[in-house]
């Protein structure tokens, strides 16, 4: 069993390593860029969620939101059809469901834009080659949307056949799976570009 002195020595070493890391100029620049980009993203999110004019009207009727809405509705419907479900969709109400079953409404928080933004901000802030960075962001965002379609189709199936498990799958299981993917991609990006800090 470790004694008190060895535990204190361990924490002293850890403290010194943290101080050394934060005194590194490349790491400091990364932290400044990351928090600056997060602050900008947060301001945009506040404007969007609080419907601050004139941005709210533009945001609500933007091409980007319409594209994400229609893409998710269509591919969720297609995914259900491929797996043999008698699915239907309604673009105007942004719903996908199973005939004689249940439907889910795909709201703006389900579009995955916030998650893709968070993923992209980390990749932009961390050092790396710009061409690789662009590919990593595009590839990651495409995979996030594929996972999102699988998540939404799964929610339709769960809501139809096992409605008692809908809430836990909606708020915990499927969401956690997507966040784990994003975390793995961040770790991969850091490992690929770790020499940039040297």
List the pLDDT tens digit at each of the 198 positions of the chain. Answer: 456 666 677 667 766 655 665 566 666 666 677 777 777 776 766 666 665 555 555 555 567 778 888 889 999 999 999 989 999 999 888 899 998 889 999 887 788 888 888 888 888 887 777 788 889 989 999 999 999 999 999 999 999 999 898 888 888 888 888 888 888 888 888 888 776 655
Q: How far apart are the first and last CA of the chain?
A: 37
Going through the chain in order, the beta strands assigned E by DSSP cover 87-90, 95-98, 103-105
Return the structure tokens found at 134. Answer: 């662009």
pTM for the whole structure = 0.70
- Judge whether 113 and 71 are in contact, CB under 8 Å: no
CA distance 96 to 80: 9
Classify residue 169 by its DSSP letter: I
Return the structure tokens found at 85. Answer: 């479900």
Q: What's residue 126's pLDDT?
A: 79
Q: What's residue 198's pLDDT?
A: 54
For helices 130-161 and 174-192, give the axis angle rounded to 10 degrees.
Answer: 170
Q: What is the pLDDT of residues 96-124, one digit of tens each?
A: 999 888 999 988 778 888 888 888 888 88
CA distance 185 to 137: 10
CA distance 195 to 192: 8
CA distance 29 to 111: 31
């Amino acid at each position: 069993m470790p004694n008190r002195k060895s535990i204190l020595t361990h924490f002293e070493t850890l403290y010194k390593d943290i101080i050394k890391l934060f005194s590194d100029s490349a790491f400091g620049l990364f932290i400044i860029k990351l928090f600056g980009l997060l602050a900008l993203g947060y301001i945009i999110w506040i404007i969007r969620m609080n419907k601050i004019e004139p941005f709210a009207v533009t945001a609500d009727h933007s091409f980007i939101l319409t594209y994400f809405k229609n893409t998710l509705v269509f591919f969720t419907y297609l995914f259900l059809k491929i797996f043999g479900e008698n699915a239907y969709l309604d673009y105007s109400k942004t719903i996908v469901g199973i005939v004689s079953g249940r439907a889910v409404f795909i709201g703006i928080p389900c579009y995955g834009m916030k998650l893709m933004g968070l993923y992209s901000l980390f990749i932009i802030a961390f050092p790396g080659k710009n061409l690789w960075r662009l590919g990593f962001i595009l590839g990651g965002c495409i995979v996030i949307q594929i996972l999102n379609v699988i998540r939404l189709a799964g929610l339709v199936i769960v809501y139809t056949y096992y409605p008692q498990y809908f809430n836990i799958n909606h708020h915990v299981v499927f969401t956690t799976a997507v966040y784990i993917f994003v975390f793995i991609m961040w770790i991969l990006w850091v490992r690929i570009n770790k020499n940039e800090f040297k």
